[in-house]
Amino acid sequence: MATPNTPLWEVFIRSRNGLAHKHVGSLHASDATMALQAARDIYTRRGEGLSIWVVPSSAITASDPAEKGMMFEPAESKIYRHPTFYEVPEEVGHM
């Protein structure tokens, strides 16, 4: 149904308890205003959100799935980067 006149938008919603906007899906709309309204109508029908961002999908630069070996595998062997090797002083309490 999409035509060149209705570009794709990515939708981000901040929920009632959430601190950050989370990606929830995408939609087609002619411009930013209409995208925001469509996002409201499609993604907040059950009280999911208190704030909406819409971003043109074309503005996103994505990593290439074909390069995932080079991009992500080197990190898998470096478990010492996880913060489980520190001793937290008791006075700090919960972090």
Partner 1 sequence: MTISNIQVSETPLVLYTLRRADDALVLGHRLSEWCGHAPILEEDMALANMALDLLGQARELYSYAGKVEGKDNDEDKLAYLRDVRQYRNLLLVEQPNGDFARTMMRQFFYSAFADLYWRAMMKSGDATLAAIAAKSEKESAYHLRHSSEWIIRLGDGTAESHARAQGAIDHLWAFTGEMFAVDEAERSLIDKGIAIDPAGLRPLWLKTISGVLAEATLALPSNEWMQQGGRSGRHSEHLGHLLSELQYMQRTFPGLTW
**6 near partner 1, rule: CB under 8 A:** yes
**28 near partner 1, rule: CB under 8 A:** yes
Q: Which is nearer to partner 1, 4 or 83 (CB)?
A: 4
Stretch that binds partner 1, among 37-45, 47-55, 59-67, 84-92 (CB under 8 A): 37-45
Q: Which is nearer to partner 1, 32 or 71 (CB)?
A: 32
Closest CA to 17 of 47, 54, 40, 53: 47
Q: How many residues does the chain have?
A: 95
**50 near partner 1, rule: CB under 8 A:** no
User: With b meaning 16 or more CB within 10 Å and e meaning fewer, what string describes 76-87?
Assistant: eeeeeeeeeeee
